[in-house]
Structure formats: C-alpha cells, structure tokens
Chains A and B, each alone.
Chain A
C-alpha cells in the first residue's frame, strides 16, 4: 500500500481538532517555515517538489508563486485565496479534504501565505458545502487561539488574517479571476490576463489563488522534503492524486493514489469495474470539461502530460464513466446545457455559442436532428476553441462534445437518421 499523506488523517465523521492534529505532526510545517525558512526557501522547496496545480490546469505551483513581488516596496496587502468552489461536474475531491481534515487546509494556507508573505488569506467556499463552512470556521478559530494565525504568527513578526467567504457560487467562480471578481462583490466574470493575479489580483493587489488539494500537499512537502514528494508518484508529475470515479461503476468513489496510476487500475481495481450487464464505452478523465478517453486509452497513466498526449486533460482527476446503457448524445446534451447555463455572459462565443450547441443536441436527442447538425456542432467546437474565447470555460465545455463527435459519431448519426434516441423506449 502506497503512502496517502493527504487522506491519512481524513475523518469525515469526526475530523481532528487542533490538539489531535498537532499530535500527528500537525502545524509542524508552519513552525518550521516560520522559524527556520525564508519565504524564498519555501518557494524554492515547492518548485523542487514539482507540485502542479490540482484544480485542472496543472500549472507548477512554485513557479506561479515566483511572480509575486517580494521586495520591500511590493504592494500591500498581498492575498492568498484557497479555491474551494469545487463545481466541476463529477468532482468531489476537495470536499473530502475540507470536510474530513479542515486543519490540514488551514496549515497549508499558512505555509503558502508565508511563502508569498501574504497578509490576508481567504477560503472561497462553495455555498453548498455547509458542513465545510462550520468545520473550517472552527479550525480557523482554533488556529487563531494557538497563535498560528493573527498578529505576529509564532513570534515571527509576520501576521496573517484568515477568512472564510461563502460564495453564492457559480461554475465561473472556479476560474481564478472570476473568483477574484466574485470575492470583491462584483459579477463573476473573468479578467484579462495579463496582468496576472500574482501582480494585480484581489483588489488590485498581488494574489495567489490555489486549489484546495494543491494546497494540502504543502505541509507534507515541508516536513518530508521534495525528493520524498517526487518519490510518491509513478510518473514525472510528483506526489499523490485524489482520483475519483462516478457513473455506472460498481464502487463509485475517491482514492488517493500515486500520480500516474492508470485509468484501468482506477476503474477496474478501485471502482470495481462496470456494473453487471453494462459495458465500458468511455470516460471523461477529469470532470466534465475534458475530452472523452475510450477503451484504447485505459492504460494511459493518469498524469498531466500522459493524458494530454492521449488527447484529453487530467483536469481534476475525477473520471465520469460512460456506459453502454447511457446515450452519449443525452449525456453530452446534459453537459452542454450545464455549461451554457454556467456561462457568465461576458464573451460572445461562450454566451451565445454554448446555448446553440445545447439546443442542437437537445433537438438531436429529441429526434429533431437535421442533416448538417453535426457539421454545425463541429464548427461550434472549432470556433469555441482555446484563444477564441475570453477564458477557458467554453474551450473546456466543448471538449466532451468534440470528442464525443469523434468517438460516438455513429450514435449521433443514428439519432438523426432514425429521428429518435435509440436509448429511449419508443
């Protein structure tokens, strides 16, 4: 059994309180960085660990931090934000860490905040995670009482305030600049980059936004080192990963496994394979906004570069499995409807293109498809591609659609030809 640093102390029913956490090494990382390391050394350590962002984009964490101005006349206050808006369909990994081990996140955020010398930290939290809010507030209060937060953390001269912001929540808030606008009380529309949040973020000040799972790796890296962290993985991307599976598998769930575990191992060993009587048709490897992988890809290691090479993205690492009893057109329609609904309405392609794809898919699914509809869908996928839209929402949104058109084209054509959905009883 491999190591599971992230989830080792997760207990959803009764998470560790501060004292219990300290007994198993909790807040040791805070003590170490604050007392023994310079901020630059922390950043260098994280760079050396090769930790990459677990929110979906896989951006190297230490590298991201290195853009934060650190000199004496850097603008103040600086901010650290934990992105706990987990709203990617099929994704529930951060919830486990938040509900089951809130102190781990608080400690992680103190470490990250110290590295960029942030003055204020926010947890931007999805409204639906009500239990999380309660537990986080409790953990933060305990951390304040213990001197890990507040003025002059552990006598270091450095101060950090931490707040939980319960957001009204939208998919768009998962995008870091949309999140920042929402945190400022503005419409959750994305911001142009450059300037990047590291230099002009929350309220125009230097800001780092990091996914919950990414952050939770930090105390372990501090305590056990970069080499240990790299050793956890089975591939070039280091560490462990919370992998999940949903859909009609025998045991849907979430498992902390070495980075680079294959899709087959996750699906067959951990999720127990497909339910009886159903066959595997494909999977979205990292939430709804990633391209389908099919049977030929099952042995692809689930790390950032390997999944990209296979034509998809690791995303959040929580796969949604498509089975033979489910209509791929209906599934994709469901997703596109979601994305169209979640478009913030800022840029034209996403605002007006996604609803068009959703309506076309509904028409096809309802038996009202027409010749040329698939070409129109393909055109929309192409036009909604990366770079053409203001942020990554729409390019992500068309990933399942464009790959479904590739791998399940026969099913789409059959819908149009037969003017009905073969999966629905006529």
Chain B
C-alpha cells in the first residue's frame, strides 16, 4: 500500500495502480476518455490531467496525466488546481471542436460519457468558429450503428476490438484531425464481441442498432438485474423495457463472471421475447379443426389441476433453458421417477459426466475472471467461440499472461497497456487447441491441432499420461502426437495456473473424460488442484443435471396418461419420428412455454410462460454459480412463470420454491444465498426498477384511462415496478442501471464497485453450488481407439454463434447473420466421393441434402455439419453417415 496526498488529504492507495484508477476508486471526480478499466492506460486523450508536486515544499508542480502516473508512495497531487482544471476544460473544448451538437437526436444522449465529462469540466461556451470535420459513415451490419462525426478519437474502440478481443476488421485510418475508425469497407463486423463497442465508445459513434428500431432513452427504461439465457456462462445482463417490450440488453458488470463485456449473442438475442411466436394467453388448441381457443389464466389453471390430479399417471419433461424453480416445480408435481430431463440421452450423458467430474474433484471450475488469469491452457474438442463466446475472450487474455511477465521484468506496470503490448508484441502464451475443425480462436493459440474427436480424446489421455504415469497410457500413438502431448504436458506443468477446457459441444464423452484426466494428473503433479472448465450447452444445463432426471428417451417408453412439457421444443432434442410417436401416444398433452412450436400445436392445453424478462428464476452456470434473474416488466397477456403454473400448494412466492428446493437436496443448500429474498429492504423500502427520471408514467396509458394504474405488486423480489422506493445507491448486487450524480453513462459503474474493476459493493451476485471434493478420483481408463477412416464419414457437430442457439435466432438482427446449413469436409474426401455442389446423407432417420463446403483443415474421413440451425437439429452427433453426391 502507498500513502498519497490529493488536494491536501491523505489516502491509502494501491501502489500497483495508476492515479486515475486510484482517484476513481476513491470516488473522486476526474474526467477521462481513453482509459478503460479493462483496457488500461495509453495516455492519448490527455483528459485526466492533474497537478503533481515533487514534495510538500513544491509549489509550482507540473501537469501529469493521472492514468499514466503510478500511485507511488508519497505522491502528492491536486485535482482542483486551477491550471489542471483549465487544461482539462481545454481538452474538452478541443474534443468539442468537431463534435456535432446533435445530442437530442443521438441515441447516446442521456447516457453519454462525453456529455458527463463536458459538464464535469465546465466547458460550456463554443469559441471555435470554423467548420467542423465530417465523415462518411459505414454500414457495419445489423447490430452496430456507426456515426463517425461524433467521434472524439479516444481509440477505445480499436483497443477493445483489436487488442482485447482479437478482431482485425476494425481499425484506425487516416491521421491528424481526420482519424477514422471503421472497416476497410462497409460490412458486418466480424468479431463476436462487436456489441461491446456500444459501451466502450464514450459517445454516440457506435450505438445499438437493434435499440434504434424501437428507441427509448436510458432513463425511460425499466430494468432489473438479469442473467443471459443464450449459453451456459451466466453472463450478467441488464435488459431494458418500455411499453411492454424489451428494447435492449446491456452487459451488467460482474467481477467474477463477464466483467465489463458481453458477447453479441447475449446482447442482441433478446428479440425472441417479442417474437410473433410468443404465447401470451392460455390456449386450447383445436388441431386441424381450427384456430386455438384462448381461455383465461384461471380457467387454464383449473384445467391443469384436473389433468394432473392423479399424480401417478403424469410425467413431466423438463428443460435446460427453464429455471431451476420451474424444473423443480415440475419435478415436485410429477415425482422424481416421472421427471425426465428433456434432453437427449447423448447430451445428458455428457452433462452428467461433466457434473460428475467437477463434483468429484479435485479439479476446480474457475470463474471467467479466473480463466483470464490462467497462464497455460489446453482446449480439448470444444469450439468455445461458438458455444461459450465469453470464454474465448477470457482465453485471449490468458494467452498474454506469460509473455506479459517480460514486460514486468522491464518495470512496465500492467496498466501501461500500450507499453506492455509493445514489449510483448506477438508473443503468445501456451494455448493449445485440439478440435476437428478450425476455430476463431486459432489465431490466438500457440498451436491449433486438427483431429477427429477420438484422436482429440487420445491426445488428452496422452497428455495426462505424460503428466502422471499412473494415468492410463495411450497405445499406438503416432510419434508427432506423442511429441505434441509431451509439449503440452510440459507447458501445463510449468505454468503457474494451468487450465483445461473442454465441453459438451464436441459431443464426445471420451473427450470429456480425457480433459478430466489431464486436470487430475496436473493436480497430482503440482500437489494442488488444477482448474478445468467445461462448456455446457444451455443456460441451465448444469442446474437441470443437478436436479437429476431420467433421459428423454425413457419418457418415450414411459406409461403415462398426461405429459407435461416444460419450455422445451422436443423436435430439437430427438429424432422427429420418435417425438411424433411420443406426442401421438400421450392421451393428454400439456405444453408450458413462451414460444409456440410444433409440440404446442398438438397439445391439449398450452400455458404461456414468462421469459427471463417477465419472470424470476435461478440458472446454474458452467461455473456452478447459481444466479437469479429478476423480472424486468409486467408482461402483456396472461403470462405466468412456469413454476407458478406448476406451483405446489403453499408456495406463495419464489422464496418458497427456493426454500423447498434447498431443503430437498443438499446440492442446493447454498441456493438461498444466491440472491436476496423478496423481503430485502433498504431503509424499509423496496428498490425501484426505473430510474428517478423515468418519464411519462402518468401518460403512458392515458389512451386507455386517465387514471394512472396502480403499479403491479411484486411478491417475489425486493423490486417495485416503478421508480418508487429507495432512492439512495442500491447495493451493487441489486443494481441494474448504474447511475450516480454527474455520471449518467455506463461509466457510473465505478461508483458501484469496491474498487475499479473489483467486486460490486455488497458482493458480486450469485452463489457457487459446486466445490469439488479434494479426495481425488480414479482416472478414466477407456481410451478410445485411434480414428480410422471408413466408407462412411465421421460427422462431427459444428456450432454457430448465430444459428445454433434456439432463442437468439429469433432476433431479427441475428437472424440476418445465421448461415445456411452445409456439409463441411476435406477437399480430398469431396473429390473422392465426387461431391461438388451438394451432398446427400441420412441421419437420425432424416434425409439431408446439403451444399458442400471444402475445409482443407478437416482431417480425412471427418465431416462437419451444424449441430443446430433454425430449421435443423442434429442432437446425436458425432455419428457415422454415408454421404453421396446430391442433386444440385
């Protein structure tokens, strides 16, 4: 710790930080632009100038940039000094030279860091009397809007996009007062993290293009803390609603999970909540006889009660995209023996194996923040960019750990970002990828190795054996694979924090087992547990696995009168013929979901479920972290949370469900700690969902009645559906929108953290449900035989950020970016099979005709097909299939 003096007051400071970081952590107002807590300092904007004095006797001092000055012990500075203030006002005046005065029509208005900083410095009169510079804007695709005239050249966009996230299609062009940030030509931004530009940009150059379709100001949005439902990482989000419709999703800072950022699927996937397939009223479908009949919620609830009153004759099919509470409610209703997981046996076997590995230990699942701090990693079989995008971003930081140590030796502080990058250059730490097809992370890896799933698993087993001779050996390993295994093992063993990454995405149980062996062998070698991270398929895959359920296929043969399907489109889970038979056999079919789908059309009763925006619930992430998403707004129609439709007698609110669940199984003992109960109050008050500036509440429904409706009561959470309630700063864990006096933009976050980039005040949300046992486990011993080509091709699943996840593809922006189905294979295989334009194959009893994509990196005999696309679901990959030349 260092002692520093700021304007005559003495403070304790962390000497490893820079002065700007320290000032903001202390809650002092000091304007800045180019610095970003996750990106570090570069000293470009010159906005954070302060006066620094040599010692107590120095009266003149000199201006320094706080972001570029270490908080060394004995530092004495002044923020209030006249010369420093004058200079800071001058910097804003320069920035405003070319900035258009279009705040009233700018999407950033009201949450603009440039506005805040302009007010903070006091610059308010325009003295520059010449013409402003103008630019041509670019079409950057359906997600991010570009308005370059507003640019103040802080360079944050390219630093995030290129330096931090590894994208190379957004650059700085031009020079002097004509620097341009964009692509070399119009086109869709390629990075899966492009949406962060919206938050990283301190003004309105990059804005959310989907928000623009139905724009509302920040202060007019109703928000609540939420969790992303588009993969299993559990990134925190802040959805914003107005007039009953979600308008946007922003990343919500979580010190241990997603930090400051969010992937584009998470940010832009919200469109399904207002999709035309939404169910808003309970329905009694008539089948071919005519349109479904809408009935009241009470009538629907009575109908359901009648159907399920004989519990022994009812089975339930749960869902990995439904909350813990919803699945638990269904399980409680039908009984443990009659509760089925709602995912195919193949996937369930993988997820159960993963749960088993992370529970048995001794390898621990790190948080995403901890992944960033790892300094060597082996990725086995998982295309993390497509299945767990923010894990890609975390690994990109991890790969810089080892090379950055060289910068540390040169006395370059870690926050001096440009200097660290110049010292590190293109050096990459030991990140090894072993997957069948190329991935977008390849460029960041030291080595990307291509092999069939069996051989990926064998590499993993071999690495484990290299680390610990007691781990099973791999027979008949090719010399170059043995060499690679030895190299990977040596790097992992030498690292301070090695990490093994795998997942269910590759569809291979052997790969999951191999990753476990590597992690365990590492633990033995190091004498302390290593870290292992498995990507899981859906937002609550792990929660569902923790609840325990039988595979979907067992439901197909179960004897039942009534089938209740929870938030699940079974046609994505199993072959169409099997699902058809199952649904046809059910005498009474009840479907609870927020989206209409084929199974719903065959149901006798359809109950409209709340989405994450319309109800509360808990999801368990990859990390085993249980996190609560809170209802954002009161939905139109007669929508209820699934758990409420299914609630047992005596369950009045969400807390009752959570308590019952926690009591039912020690695995959920920590669940009540994941979020404050509905009874939580600040100074006796509930917390508002809307900011104090929320406008129009008395007028919003005036076309229906001039009487302002009473806000709907929320029995499940400490939040009000209004701007009423506690007006002081909420605890960080419950803050959805970050606002502080003078800080209207997302940068207000600094005021809600214990320190800059640290945990939120009152703790980062959620509770980890899984801590591994330390006893150690027996190695998996079933090493698969080496991959051998056959007449058929080994079809492996390929994933698409935009396309493979069920809900996000319903967002119009994302829908534009979904690829067409295809078959990818090695060009030599294609030539041998005579495939040119199209291929035909049979899979899961389905005949597929797919256009051929030649991918030279694919091993011979291995072909890739999308695991899922909007009209394609292939849940049983990898699989052998005979591929023939198809019609054109």
CB of B97 within 8 Å of the partner chain = yes
Q: Mark the stretch among B173-181, B266-274, B648-656 that contacts chain A.
A: B173-181
Partner of A191, one of B90, B130, B418: B418
Question: Which of B91, B412, B425 interacts with A203 by CB under 8 Å?
Answer: B425
B98 touches A352 (CB 8 A): yes
Question: Smallest Cβ distance from B186 to chain A, in angstroms?
Answer: 22
Q: B174: nearest residue on chain A (CB-CB)?
A: A345
User: Chain B: which residue is nearest A384 at the CB level?
Assistant: B90
Interface flag for A359 (CB, 8 Å): yes
Residues on B with beta carbons closer than 8 Å to the beta carbon of A327 = none
Contact yes or no, A348 B47, CB < 8 A? yes
Q: Which residues of B contact A195 (CB under 8 A)?
A: 410-412, 419, 422-423
Cα–Cα distance between A191 and B47 once the two chains are bound (Å): 18
Shortest Cβ distance from residue B370 to the other chain A in the assembled complex, whole angstroms? 27
In the bound complex, CA of A204 to CA of B425 (Å):
6
Q: Are B45 and A347 in contact (CB under 8 A)?
A: yes
B-contact bits for A178-193, CB 8 A (1 contact / 0 none): 0000000001000110
Q: B residues within 8 A CB of A388? A: 46, 49, 63, 87
Asked if A414 is at the interface (CB within 8 A of a chain B CB), the reply is no
Which of A210-241 touch B at CB < 8 Å?
A: none
Does A383 lie within 8 Å of B177, measured CB to CB? no
Mark contacts of B395-428 with chain A using CB atoms, 8 A cut-off: 1 yes-contact digit, 0 otherwise: 0000000000011001110001011001111000
Contact (Cβ within 8 A) B419 A345 = no
A168–B155 Cα distance when bound, in Å, is 23
- Residue A407 lies at the interface, judged by CB distance under 8 Å to chain B: no
Size of interface on A: residues with Cβ below 8 Å to B: 38
Chain B residue, CB-CB nearest to A359: B130
User: A340-B177, A345-B178 are known contacts. Are A387 and B64 too (CB-CB below 8 A)?
Assistant: yes
A47: CB under 8 A from chain B? Answer: no
Question: Are B46 and A349 in touch, CB under 8 angstroms?
Answer: yes
Q: Which of A324-349 contact B (CB under 8 A)?
A: 340-349
Flag whether B127 is at the interface (Cβ < 8 A).
Answer: yes
Q: A345-B177, A346-B44, A347-B44 are in contact. Are A352 and B97 (CB under 8 A)?
A: yes
The reply on B873 being an interface residue by CB < 8 A is: no
- Which residues between 108 and 136 of chain B lie within 8 Å of chain A, taking CB atoms? 127-130
Question: 1/0 contact trace for B824-835 toward A, CB 8 Å?
Answer: 000000000000
B63 touches A351 (CB 8 A): no
Q: A130 → chain B, closest Cβ, in Å?
A: 23
Please give the distance in Å from A132's CB to the nearest CB on chain B. Answer: 25
A66 at the interface (CB under 8 A from B): no
Q: Is A38 close to B, CB under 8 A?
A: no
| Interchain nearest-CB distance for B99 vs A (Å) | 10
B260 nearest CB across to chain A (Å): 23
Q: B789 to chain A: which residues have CB within 8 Å? A: none
A192-B42, A348-B153 given; A383·B90 CB < 8 A: yes
Contacts of B90 in A (CB 8 A): 349, 353, 379, 383
User: Does residue B11 face the partner (Cβ distance < 8 Å to A)?
Assistant: no
Q: Decide yes or no whether A56 CB sits under 8 A from chain B.
A: no
Say yes or no: is A199 at the interface (Cβ < 8 Å to chain B): yes
Nearest Cβ in chain B — how far from A371, in angstroms? 12
Contact indicator A343/B424 (Cβ below 8 Å): no
Bound complex: CA A388 to CA B44 (Å): 11
Residues in chain A near residue B412, CB distance under 8 A: 194-195, 200
Query: Is B95 a contact partner of A187 (Cβ separation < 8 A)?
Result: no
B91–A348 CB distance below 8 A: yes
Q: How far is the CA of A370 from the CA of B97 in the complex (A)?
A: 18
Contact B44 A355 (CB under 8 A): no
* Interchain CB contact (< 8 A) of A351 among B49, B130, B176: B176
Contact partners of B425 in chain A: CB under 8 A? 203-204
Tell me whether A355 and B177 are in contact (CB under 8 A). yes
Q: Are A344 and B175 in contact (CB under 8 A)?
A: yes
**CB contact list, B207-252 vs A, under 8 A:** none
Tell me, in angstroms, the Cα distance from A355 to B98 when the chains sit together.
11
Considering the complex, give the chain B residue whose CB is closest to the CB of A197.
Answer: B422
Q: Does A4 count as interface, using CB distance less than 8 angstroms?
A: no
Q: How far is the CB of A351 from chain B (nearest CB, A)?
A: 5
A255 contacts chain B at the CB level, 8 A cutoff = no
> Does A144 have its Cβ within 8 Å of any Cβ on chain B?
no
Flag B31-64 by CB within 8 Å of A: 1 or 0 each: 0000000000011111101000000000000111
Interface residues in B271-325 (C-beta closer than 8 Å to A): none
Q: Which residues from chain B contact A344 at a C-beta distance below 8 Å?
A: 175-176
User: Is B68 an interface position by the 8 A CB rule?
Assistant: yes
Contacts of B43 in A (CB 8 A): 192, 347, 390
CB contacts (< 8 Å) of A359 on chain B: these are: 130
**Residues in A whose Cβ lies below 8 Å from that of B178:** 345
Contact A390 B44 (CB under 8 A): yes
Closest to B97 in A: A352
CB distance from A324 to the nearest CB of B (A): 30
Q: A344-B175, A387-B64 are in contact. Are A204 and B45 (CB under 8 A)?
A: no
> Of A204, A340, A344, A389, which is in contact with the most chain B CB atoms at under 10 Å from its CB?
A204
**B680: interface (CB < 8 Å):** no
Minimum distance in angstroms from A185 CB to a CB of chain B: 12
Contact status B97-A356, CB under 8 Å: yes
Q: A-facing mask of B153-197, CB < 8 A → 1, else 0?
A: 101000000000000000010111111000000000000000000
A351 and B177 form a contact (CB under 8 A): yes
Contacts of A194 in B (CB 8 A): 411-412, 419
Chain A residues whose CB sits within 8 angstroms of the CB of B423 once the complex forms: 195, 200, 204
Shortest Cβ distance from B133 into chain A, in angstroms? 9
CB proximity to A under 8 Å, residues B421-447: 422-425
Given A347-B43, A349-B46, A387-B63, A192:B175 Cβ within 8 A: no
Asked if B44 and A191 make an inter-chain contact with CB atoms under 8 angstroms apart, the answer reads no
Q: Does A345 lie within 8 Å of B418, measured CB to CB?
A: no
Chain A residues whose CB sits within 8 angstroms of the CB of B44 once the complex forms: 346-348, 390
Give the CA-CA distance A383 to B46 in the complex, in Å: 11
Whether, in the assembled complex, A376 has its beta carbon less than 8 Å from a beta carbon of chain B, the answer is yes
Most buried by B among A191, A342, A349, A351: A351
Contact between A353 and B410, CB atoms less than 8 A apart? no
Query: Which of chain A's residues has its CB closest to B417's CB?
Result: A192
Nearest chain B CB to A373's CB is how many angstroms away? Answer: 9
A46 to B333: give the CA distance in the assembly, Å. Answer: 89
Minimum Cβ distance to chain B for residue A332 (Å): 17
Interface residues of A in 50-104 (CB under 8 A from B): 75
Question: What residue of chain B has the Cβ atom nearest to residue A376's Cβ?
Answer: B127
A204 surroundings in chain B (CB, below 8 A): 406, 422-425
Docked-complex contact A199 and B176, CB < 8 angstroms: no
| Chain A residues closer than 8 Å to B419, beta-carbon distance | 191-192, 194-195, 200
Which chain A residues border B410 with CB–CB below 8 Å? 195, 199-200
A343 & B46 in contact (Cβ 8 Å cutoff): no
B residues within 8 A CB of A126? none
**Chain B residue with the shortest CB-CB distance to A69:** B410
Bound complex: CA A356 to CA B133 (Å) = 12
Partner of B176, one of A187, A192, A342: A342
User: Are B416 and A351 in contact, CB atoms less than 8 angstroms apart?
Assistant: no
Q: Is there a chain B Cβ closer than 8 Å to A170's Cβ?
A: yes
Question: Which chain A residues border B155 with CB–CB below 8 Å?
Answer: 346
Besides A191-B419, A340-B176, 16 other A-B contacts (C-beta < 8 A):
A187-B172, A192-B416, A195-B411, A199-B410, A204-B424, A204-B425, A343-B175, A345-B177, A347-B46, A348-B45, A348-B94, A348-B153, A353-B90, A355-B176, A356-B130, A388-B63
Residues of A within 8 A of B (CB): 75, 170, 172, 187, 191-192, 194-195, 199-200, 203-204, 340-349, 351-356, 359, 363, 370, 376, 379, 383, 387-390
Please list the 7 inter-chain residue pairs (A to B) with the smallest Cβ-Cβ separation, ordered nearest first.
Answer: A352-B94, A345-B179, A204-B423, A343-B176, A359-B130, A200-B423, A383-B90
**What residues of chain B have their CB less than 8 Å away from a CB belonging to chain A?**
42-47, 49, 62-64, 68, 86-87, 90-91, 94-95, 97-98, 127-130, 152-153, 155, 172, 174-179, 406-407, 410-412, 416, 418-419, 422-425
Pick 15 A–B contacts, CB within 8 A, sort by A. A191-B419, A192-B43, A195-B410, A195-B422, A195-B423, A200-B412, A200-B419, A340-B176, A341-B176, A342-B176, A347-B43, A349-B94, A351-B94, A352-B95, A356-B130
